[in-house]
Amino acid sequence: MVPQPVLAVLLLYPQGRKKESDASATSTVETKEPNKKVYFTKQTVGNACGTIGIIHAIGNAVSEIKLVDGSYFHRFYKQTADMDPIQRAAFLEEDQEMEDAHSVAAAGGDTEAKDGVIEHYVCFTCVDGELYELDGGKPQPIHHGHASPDSLLQDAARVIKTRIVEYSESLNFNVTCDFWHWEQNYKAYLIEHGHLNDSGHEDVAVQEMEATMLKKKKEEEATMLKKKKEEEEEATMLKEKKQEEEEEEEKEKKEKKKKKKEKDTGKEMEKGEMMMLMMALLNLGIEVVKLLKCVIVLLLVMVVVGVVAF
C-alpha cells in the first residue's frame, strides 16, 4: 500500500521526437486555460527535468507541508511566488545554490548514465480538484480532467497508462509518489537517521552538524572577504607601482631636460668665450700694429737725425 495522502506523482518515461509529437497532437485538453493557483515553471536549464519535477511537486503542495523557515525551498518559493513561468526559469538559471546542489546530486549517483538514452521527468498534481501534468518543456500545465487529493495516484495512473502504451517499445519507466506526514513520518525519518533522539528532541549530532555548517559558512565568508581584501590590496599595489613608474618616468624626463638645458647653456657660454677671445686677439693685433708703426716712425727719425749729423 502506498502511504496517503499522495501529494504529487513523478513520472520518468522515454522521450522520443516522433512519440512526443504524436502525444502533443492527440492532446485535447492541453490548451485549457491553466488555474492560476498551479505553481509552474519553464525548464531552460539542460538535464534538469528531475529537479524541475521536484520543484513542481513541492510548489503545489506547500499548503499541505511546512517548509522550514529560512530553508532553501522556503526562500525559493517566497521569492518566485509572484513570477510567471519564464521569470521563474530565469531566476532558477541564476541560482548558484541550486546549481551546486544539482551538480553534487548528479555526480553522486551509482548508476552510470547510458549514451543515447533520453528520459524525461514530469509531475502530476491535483489543484482545486483538477489533475495537471507539469512539464517544464511545455508552454503551460496540461489539464487531464477532474481529480481529488485522495485519488491523485489513481487519476495520475490513468494518464500514465496511456503514456506507457505510447512508448510500449521501451521499459524505461519509473513512478515516484511524494507524500508527507509531517507530524509522524518526517519526525520518524529524522529519528531513524539520527537527526532527532527518541524523545523527538534535536540530537547533539544535529547541533554539531549545524554548528559545523555554520562554521564552514563563516569560513567561506571569511575566505571570500580575505580574497576580496587581497584583490583590493593587489589593486592598490599595482596602482601605487604604476604611479611610482609614472613619477620615475617624469623624473627622468625632467633630468634629461635639465641636462639638455645645461648642455645648451654650456655651448652658449663656450661660444661667448670664444667670441671674447677672438675680440681680445683682434684688439691685441691692432695694438701690435700701432706699436710697430711707432717703432718704424722712431727708426725713421733716428735715420734722418743721423744723416743730418753726418
Instruction: Give me the active site residues, please.
Output: 49, 120
Query: Sign of torsion, CA 292 298 304 307?
Result: negative
Element containing residue 143 per DSSP (H, E)? strand 142-146
- DSSP category for residue 93: H
Alpha-carbon distances, residue 111 vs 12, 54, 107, 108, 154 (angstroms): 16, 20, 10, 9, 30
Cell numbers describing residue 37 = 493557483
- The CA distance from 133 to 125, in Å, is 7
Nearest to 56 by CA among 30, 28, 77, 78: 77
How many Å apart are CA 269 and CA 276, to the nearest integer?
A: 10
Neighbour count for residue 10 (Cβ, 10 Å): 22
Could you tell me if 13 and 119 are in contact, meaning their C-beta atoms sit under 8 angstroms apart? Answer: yes
Nearest-5° angle of CA 192, CA 8, CA 118?
Answer: 100
